[in-house]
Amino acid sequence: MRREPPVTDPFVRMYHVSKSYMAGTFALHDVSLEVDRGEFVFLTGPSGAGKTTLLKLLFAAERPSEGQIILRGRNITRLREYGIPALRRRIGVVFQDFKLLGHRSVEENVGMALEVRGTPPREIRSRVFRVLKQVGLQHRRYHRAEALSGGEQQRVALARALVNDPELLLADEPTGNLDPELTLEIMDLIASAGARGTTVVVATHDLSLIDRYAKRTLHLEAGCVKRDAGAAAISA
């Protein structure tokens, strides 16, 4: 086992990271940034700016074309195939398109994130119930995910991301299908996870959220960081 790095180190470091899906175009271009442990970061930018791509790099769904990414002191660009699952089990992700299993029940969809870690069934049931209650869906837990409304599915996706108390929470447009009231409830939930020590990165288009929560905001445009507001000041 490797020695755990001291917690004072930045939690995430990206060094000159670029990602190019097709030769000649960059989804991300020369991005360098640091995110401390427990920090809460908003990621904004127009459609196609590279927000999802940046998140994908962090949970190793894509590999950078150039540059290095250090997560918890470990270079994940060097990670072998078999090292990826262990990484992902420490991360919770709310996917922009939810990625739920439509034919499975809500409980199964959320429980999945615990099953892969070998959590005993009894514990899974109680933790799943708790997190579903937080997102207001405990009464729907036996329904198939595809029978839920868009906003309900989005909350199930968030529940799945939160259920295993991740060290890093990546949420890609987690309130795009929610009404304003629910948006605040859900963002409070995410913020409270941040307050408990989880490092949080939320990609969003909702400027009212950014105003309201007044957290560090990374503004991407065409793959480059155009603004990094309130970084050191607000975090911690």
Partner 1 sequence: MRLLVVHLFYAARSAIRGLWASPVTTGVALVTIAVSLVLVGAFGLLVTNMQGLLDRVGEDLRVTAYLEEGISDEDLKRLALLTQTVEGVASVETISKDDALRIFDERLGGRSGLLEGLEYNPLPASLEITLVESQRSVGGLRVVVESLDGLPGIEELSYGEEWVEGYARALSMIRGLGVGVACVLALATLLIVGNTIKLAVYARRDEIEILGLVGASRSFVRIPFLLEGFTQGTLAALMALGLLYILYRILTPSLAAGIELLMGHASPAFFSPFQMFLLVASGAFVGALGSAAAFVEGGRR
Ligand X SMILES: Nc1ncnc2c1ncn2[C@@H]1O[C@H](COP(=O)(O)OP(=O)(O)OP(=O)(O)O)[C@@H](O)[C@H]1O
Q: Which residues bind ligand X (CB under 6 A)?
A: 21-22, 27, 45, 47-53, 96, 147-152, 177
The reply to whether 5 sits near Mg ion by the rule CB under 5 A is no
Q: Which is nearer to Mg ion, 124 or 178 (CB)?
A: 178
The reply to whether 81 sits near a copy of itself by the rule CB under 8 A is no
Q: DSSP string spanning 1-26?
A: -PPPPPTTS-SEEEEEEEE-SSTT--
Q: Which stretch binds partner 1 (CB under 8 A): 5-13, 95-103, 201-209, 221-229?
A: 95-103
The reply to whether 118 sits near partner 1 by the rule CB under 8 A is yes
The reply to whether 226 sits near a copy of itself by the rule CB under 8 A is no
The reply to whether 150 sits near Mg ion by the rule CB under 5 A is yes
Position among 29, 37, 45, 218 found at the interface with a copy of itself (CB under 8 A):
45
Q: In angstroms, what is the minimal distance from the CB of 27 to a copy of itself? A: 8
Which residue from 132, 114, 136, 131 is spatially nearest to 123, judged by alpha carbons?
Answer: 114
Other beta carbons less than 10 A from residue 117's beta carbon? 12
The reply to whether 150 sits near a copy of itself by the rule CB under 8 A is yes
Q: Which is nearer to a copy of itself, 11 or 59 (CB)?
A: 59
What residues from 145 to 184 belong to the interface with partner 1 (CB under 8 A)? 160
| Amino acid in the structure at residue 37 | R
Contacted entry of a copy of itself, ligand X, Mg ion, none for residue 123, CB cut-off 5 to 8 Å set by kind = none
| Amino acid in the structure at residue 70 | I
Q: How far apart are CA 140 and CA 230, in angstroms?
A: 40
CB-CB contact of 66 with 14 (8 Å): no
| Amino acid in the structure at residue 100 | L
**Interface with partner 1: number of residues (CB under 8 A):** 28
Residue 147's alpha-carbon distances to 106, 163, 179, 234, in angstroms, are 10, 21, 19, 41
